[in-house]
Structure 1
Amino acid sequence: MTYYYKGFPQSTRDEVLHMVNVEELARKAKDVMPEAAYYYVASGAENEWTWRANTSAFNHYQIIPRALTNMSHPQLDTEFMGMKLKTPVMIAPIACHGIANKAAEVGTQKGAAAAGALFSSSTYANKSVEDIAAAAPNAPRYFQLYLSKDWKFNRMVFDAIKKTGYKGIWLTVDALVSGYREANLRTHFTYPVPLDFFTRYLGGKGEGQTVAQMYAASAQKIGPKDVQRIKDESGLPVFIKGITNAEDAYKAIGAGADGVYVTNHGGREVDGEPATVDDLPEVAKAVAHRVPVVFDSGVRRGSHVFKALALGADMVGIGRPFLYGLALGGAKGVKSVIDQYNKELLIDMELTGCKTIEDVKHAKIAHIRYTADNLPSDTDPTRMKPYPVTKYNQMKSDEADASSGASEA
């Protein structure tokens, strides 16, 4: 059930998960993940206002049900950039899946492939792109690029992802430096498991690094000319990940981007910026169907997927919930999470007379104004609850590495 890498506990579970909703998994994941690793996933920047607003803001939009539609058995199949998918729900890119499960990105890819969903892997992945591709050779996958200051590194990445069948690149521009993540500071988090691209290029650098140290290796200056250079050198479509307003959408398209990715990095960067779903309508209007729109941040319900599609998204990414599913159930757990979103989305489609995903994109949505909270982060001492201690989530005392930030038995 648990494997130890230098004392760091990694779940080895691979089982179907039963849930009423995906939010349940956040609490259960604490039982198998060390405290520092859990809060690396579960937290946001500063007071976490944007992190919370990403989910609560979906309540600003209301689905208008339709009656007498003479419709049944809606279908989730969709097409994106020439790829035929069984669902518009996709795996959003997140670093270091090995903090959730020993199978890491290989497990996530297997789960996504079993669900017929698009998978994304990060430059900061634990598993190699070769191992990920071998786990599901014919599955659709995109690669999230943290552009390096070192173009030799970038070219190594491009060569590897082309050889292993990646279909495109999400170019990250919303995390040029690390946001002020208090949970990481309080738990002294460092990446506890090697990151493959850094291991193969730098001989192991990546393990034991803080988030801020890892980001420091990335390019902080990214401009329109870089988009075309990445397209030319990779030979792959490039989406700009981190677009939250019309001006940047125009700039991205003008720079030759093949699509835009609307996200605020899950509330992990600028605390106080709008919820991503509140940015989506403006960006979708600016894009005007000239290029596809991808969306993530705060998606916790099938109704959230429905609303995002109706507000202009073509694909809707999920993040933290699939990592909890990976921790609790491996590849089967990841598929279970996607299945839960699909189950809820299908119900909303049937109740609104939407036979296809294309119908959802034309569904009627209402909007109301809202107020916001001003709570401190969940890891603030005034709010933080005792972390559970189980036999699965503790460091082995004789192998513990103090730099990992994991709690010791």
Structure 2
Amino acid sequence: MTIVNGYEQSDREEKLNIINLTELEAKAKAIIPQGGFGYIRGGSEDEWTLRENSNAFEHAQIVPRSLTDMENPSTETNVFGLNLKTPIMMAPTAAQGLAHAQGEKDTAKGVAAVGGLMAQSTYSSTSIADTAAAGNGAPQFFQLYMSKDWDFNEHLLDEAKKAGVKGIILTVDATIDGYREEDMRNNFQFPIPMANLSEYSDGDGKGKGIAEIYASAAQKISGKDVERIASYTDLPVIVKGIESPDDAMLAIGSGAQGIYVSNHGGRQLNGGPASFDVLPAVAKAVNHRVPIIFDSGVRRGSHVFKALASGADLVAMGRPVIYGLALGGALGVQSVFETLNDELKIDMQLAGTQTIEDVKRAQLLHIHY
């Protein structure tokens, strides 16, 4: 263990023997301090939407195919002009130092080892430059929580460009924090500085609650902000937090080059729909004009398969990766991705889909209860 400001961080570095990703939660709870674990795991209010995110995958079923004359399916794909070995990517997840002393640096190493795409958060424990360097040239996106202070926004975007990121993810569903009861029960405050905040000012995030952190975030976000960021960076802007076809159209009309379907892992608007349930409608509206990233509730290879078959081009994970990080560092992260990739390959073989493009054309049965 490494201790920072009285907070115990894991420093494990080992491959994990994973049966399934769901089991990682209890194992991680045993080593992550209560406040940090509650922040990572928790959702908003009574967590109905958080639970529905995974349950919703049961609303669709994969049709098995047998006489397809295929073997050894490939998970390689090309999205946003990036050649990736897997369609599974790392969701932008804040404060990974709560799980491990190396934080986002180890996550970047683990994602790079599997040929995936890493997205790092504004509220990372390590700086944009350090996280990018840890990836050793592997592709990364930077996620922006837009601040009321445009000088700060431009500082972050400048740092991201210098670090060589390939795209900007603009999160638009967190203009205010959700009602997170787990953090309230734990009286949780961030014990570890957020590197991107401390680099810019004395407000490093340490000793603050999530509500205080979000207080500086912009509450008013419109298509003009998408245009402004795209113009400033000359990088693709992917708008994250889309659950409405109307918002998808507004984003694309403002120059967004990617749509990210997500309900923030059930951490924002409780009582809203599971992300998987809105994905087909958003994908129909987007109609392949730009790539779609999807997250929220992904725990199995079959979840990845169903999301791809419902219109996603990339499928992102957050919590399971952070649990793997706590339990095994970079090698633990690698183990999480390898496990899910192995499950996906089994599903691809049994569904008669040789490539990720075949998966996107696969038939699902939609069940209405």
Range of TM-score over shorter length: over 0.9
Q: How far has the Cα of 1:32 moved from its partner?
A: 1.0
Instruction: State which drifts further: 217-226 or 133-142.
Output: 133-142
Q: Which residue of 2 aligns with 1:214?
A: 213
TM-score when normalising by structure 1: 0.89
2-side partners of 1:6 and 1:157: how far apart?
26
Equivalent positions of 1:65-84 (< 5 A) are: 65-84=64-83
1:245 is displaced (CA, Å) by 1.3
Letter aligned with residue 119 of structure 1: M
Tell me if structure 1 keeps the 8 A contact 2:168–2:237.
Answer: yes
Deviation string, structure 1 residues 139-186 (Cα, Å, up to 9, x no partner):
010011001111110111111110111000110001110000100000
Query: What residue in structure 1 maps to residue 138 of structure 2?
Result: 139
CA distance in 2, matches of 1:268, 1:132: 25
Equivalent residue for 2:100? 101
**Matching residue's letter, 2:63:** I
1:315 maps to 2:309? no
In structure 2, what is the equivalent of residue 306 of structure 1? 305
Q: Hey, what's the Cα distance between the residues in 1 that align with 2:244 and 2:222?
A: 16
Q: Deviations over 1:387-406 (max 9, x none)?
A: xxxxxxxxxxxxxxxxxxxx
Residue identity in the other structure for 1:214: I
Written as runs of structure 1 = structure 2, the 5 A alignment for 1:6-405 is 6-370=5-369
Q: For the residues of structure 2 that align with 1:132 and 1:225, how far apart are their CA atoms?
A: 29
In the TM superposition, residue 43 of structure 1 has moved relative to its aligned partner by: 1.2
Distance 2:131 2:204 in 1: 21
CA distance in 2, matches of 1:262, 1:56: 17
**Deviation, structure 1 residue 204:** 4.3
Which residue identity lines up with residue 224 of structure 2 in the other structure?
K
**Aligned residue type for 2:212:** Q
Paired letter, 1:112: V
1:78-101 CA distance string (max 9 Å, x none): 011111100000000110000000
| Rg (Cα) greater in structure | 1
CA-CA distance at 1:112 after TM superposition: 0.2
State the shift of 1:305 in Å. Answer: 0.1
Distance 1:132 1:179 in 2: 27
The Cα of 1:244 is off from its aligned counterpart by: 0.4
The Cα of 1:282 is off from its aligned counterpart by: 0.3
Is contact 2:195-2:204 (8 Å) kept?
no
Structure 1 stretches lacking a partner, 5+ long: 371-409
What is aligned with 1:404? Answer: none
Q: Structure 1: how far apart are the matches of 2:77 and 2:21?
A: 23
1:294-317 CA distance string (max 9 Å, x none):
000000000000000000000000
**Alpha-carbon separation, structure 1, partners of 2:198 and 2:177:** 21
State the one-letter code of the partner of 1:158.
L
Tell me which amino acid in the other structure corresponds to 2:65. R
* Residue 136 of structure 1, CA deviation: 2.1
Identity %: 53
Structure 1 residue ranges, 4+ long, deviating more than 6 angstroms after superposition: none
Count of residue correspondences: 369
CA distance in 2, matches of 1:66, 1:49: 34
Alpha-carbon offset, residue 30 of structure 1:
1.2
- The Cα shift of 1:191 comes to 1.1
Deviation sequence 1:53-76 (CA, Å, 0-9, x none): 000110000000112001000000
Consecutive unaligned residues of structure 2, counting only runs of 5 or more, are none
Match for 1:254: what amino acid? G
Measured on the aligned residues, the alpha-carbon RMSD in Å equals 0.7
What is the CA–CA distance in structure 2 between the aligned matches of 1:338 and 1:197, rounded to whole Å? 27
Q: Give the TM-score, by structure 2 length.
A: 0.99
- What is the CA distance between 1:205 and its match in structure 2? 2.6
Report the secondary structure of 2:206's partner residue.
strand
